[in-house]
Amino acid sequence: MSTSAPSREQAESAAARLEDAPAEDVVRWALAEFGDDVCVASSMQDAVLVHLASRIRPGIPVIFLDTGYHFAETIGTRDAAEAAYPIRLIDVTPAQSVAEQDAEHGPRLYERDPDRCCALRKVEPLARALQPYQAWMTGVRRQDDAGRHGVPVVQWDAKREMIKVNPLAAWTDDDVAGYVEQHGVLVNPLVQLGYLSIGCAPCTRAVAPGEDPRAGRWAGLAKTECGLHT
């Protein structure tokens, strides 16, 4: 396990070596390199990465951002994952409750200033939750949208000065579906209803067949990312 601070060079070297490696090997590298200083972040759209990582390292910390605006199905998937898999769930909440945010910024900030709402309810809480770690693992995939087509399996997270590991980066939708079927992995029930990219309830809608999966996020706005992965 590395005892030095993580670096861009470390990320780029690992990305080149692991580009064609199975997702399990990418997870093993992260665990060997960072030990207890790596965590998983999950939106609970599905539990694929949670399942994969916890098979390799039972008890791995899994961060879930409880924004106060989630669908009941997302909270249910979180609770089911905590019960079903050997993980240490870390439920992270914003500094303010929804009511406190409404009192300071006015109701429905997500309509008037969605970037600010995401910053308060997602970006800041995640930054706080990641402070004890040197690396974090995400379920980001190149097929998610055009802006993620070039994402490497390991990258330097300059904003947080840590390593970001994307073991599923090269996975297709069929790869995910195959893993879910093979292992009986938990999936948010909203996926079956056409919610192919699930975020907070006020800012997420189902998509039509053939429509871009990310079209259901912040529909009608130029916004395409919450800021966690940019």
Active-site amino acid positions: 226
Total residues found in the chain within this entry: 230
Under DSSP, the state recorded for 156 is E
Q: Helix or strand or coil: residue 67?
A: coil
First to last CA, the chain: 28
Question: What number of CA atoms fall less than 13 Å from residue 58's CA on the CB side?
Answer: 3
C-alpha 181/C-alpha 184 separation (Å) is: 5
List the one residue out of 14, 17, 16 whose CA is nearest residue 137: 14
